[in-house]
Amino acid sequence: MHPSIHATRTPGKAAVIMAGSGETITYAELEARANQGAHLLRSLGLKRGDGIALMLENTPRFFEIVWAAQRAGLYYSCLSTRLAVPEIAFILADSGSRVLVASMPVPDDLPTDGITVFAPGARDFLAERAPFPETPIADPSPGNDMLYSSGTTGRPKGIRPPLPEGPLDQTNALTEFGRTSLAMREDSVFLSPAPLYHAAPLRWCMTIQKLGGTVIVMEKFDAEAVLALIERYRVTHAQFVPTHFIRMLKLPAEVRARYDHSSLQVVYHAASPCPVEVKHAMMDWWGPILHEFYAGTEANGLTAIGPQDWLAHPGSVGRAIWGKVRICGEDGEELPTGEVGAIYFADGAPFEYHGDPEKTRQSRNRHGWTTLGDVGRVDAEGYLYLTDRQSFMIISGGVNIYPQEIEDALVTHPRVADVAVIGAPDAEMGERVVAVVQPLDWADAGEDLARELMSWLDGKIGRIKMPRQIDFDRELPRHPNGKLLKRIVRARYWE
């Protein structure tokens, strides 16, 4: 299970096709360029356990470089092209990267001492790679990603897993999960609509390439373009986040009906809880092919649920596949079935936040169970339901209010494109519930829509959860991977 195997078996098969440009990289080309890249990295003095960093848009070069690092036993850290200089500097220093490959000029004030920089205006990675042999390096060994959390609640945290031992083509838990639970095979065509520097798109694309399938990569998400790509390439598998579903569902009915999606076999989603109404609507449209999983970059545990189980347990993110789910109170002790608390995984894969023992300590309780900071409950059958993140909880008049339920109710309104619910300071209640709404049409923003939304919520949520204030924003800040940057919205009210 490695692209090198498929380069021999099916050399002319497409490993990756770019959705916008149509640029195609075959397995033979991916293998040759990855080998050349590995030789180049070795020539720079990098050895097993060293690290490189990529700051690239979605491009085939991404795969050529990460597969070069993977076969050279290196860590590869992938950075967003939207990061500010202090954020880039932190990740480069924290990861210990010795090479940076960027698709844009590196800012003059970015500290790069001890780092070989390939970027416009600096060294040219492709030009320096070209003279090297297309055959494997003399000492191949498997590398691994060292990725950083998206920073939705603060400074990104780096996860540095141990390097795998053994051959390059060894399998891993994610590949086996994809092969056995999601029916990924050599003939699979996988659509990836999200930035490759994020953990899930990168890991799933590489999983498909391990298995010998074809990856269709969108340079940027566009709702109608997704439908056109599914029809054009007969896509069998795709991964989305709930925001993608919402935007596709709000396309005009005639646009949605224009494209053939019958090739789809498995669609799965993660990153944030999906409103029940939204998932039902997607099932009505695409059929019962939607799978869901709950996990994090930390890979400390995973739950998953298939379409039939979800229809029987709507709103659940499934039962544990890796690790064992434990719901704990503030004292770190397990709560009775059905009670809401912090989600922990017991007996999951160990992880540490690189260079931050305090954050690592905060992610564990006295039993050694680990948490990603999410809140939820488990039913009597072991199905997990997400409530929200602990850091997003609103305490109003001494009552704990989780915004997710309010957001799920508001975002299904036909005139709402996006919504963030936060707690704002309140002299009487401590915090008051504020809904910040992005209308589909900015001309609708105003008191009439606010009153309409309050009426919409009546009967859908409890009175104590009703927003005390509805504000409007032209565009809410979302990470390109679909996660809402709620800390930015909240800061407007607290600062």
Provide the b/e sequence for 155-179 (b: ≥16 CB within 10 Å). Answer: ebbbbbbeeeeeebeeebebbebbb
CB contact set of 54 (below 8 Å; sequence gap of 6+): 62, 65, 66, 76, 77, 78, 79, 100, 101, 102, 197
CB contact set of 358 (below 8 Å; sequence gap of 6+): none
Q: Can you list the residues of the chain whose pLDDT is less than 50?
A: 152-153
Measure the CA–CA gap between 168 and 166, rounded to whole angstroms.
Answer: 7
Measure the CA–CA gap between 74 and 66, rounded to whole angstroms.
Answer: 9
Predicted confidence at residue 153, as pLDDT, reads: 46
User: Across the strands, what pairs with 422?
Assistant: 434
Supply the Cα-derived Rg of the chain in whole angstroms.
23
Predicted confidence at residue 397, as pLDDT, reads: 67
DSSP state of 111: -
Predicted confidence at residue 149, as pLDDT, reads: 74
Measure the CA–CA gap between 37 and 3, rounded to whole angstroms.
Answer: 15
Instruction: Specify the amino acid at residue 231.
Output: E
Residues 422 and 455: beta-carbon distance below 8 Å? no
Q: Which among 383, 360, 382, 385 is positioned nearest to 374, based on CA atoms?
A: 385
Measure the CA–CA gap between 340 and 257, rounded to whole angstroms.
Answer: 40
Structure tokens at 95: 């990861």
Measure the CA–CA gap between 427 and 348, rounded to whole angstroms.
Answer: 43
Instruction: Specify the amino acid at residue 393.
Output: M
Output 85-88 pairs: Cβ under 8 A, ≥24 positions apart. 85/109, 85/110, 87/151, 87/156, 88/55
Predicted confidence at residue 84, as pLDDT, reads: 82
Predicted confidence at residue 154, as pLDDT, reads: 54
Report pTM: 0.82
Please report, to the nearest 10 degrees, the dihedral formed by the alpha carbons of residues 359, 360, 363, 366 taken in order.
-120
Domains of the chain, each with CATH number or no CATH: 3-214 (3.40.50.12780), 314-390 (2.30.38.10), 393-494 (3.30.300.30)
Predicted confidence at residue 83, as pLDDT, reads: 82
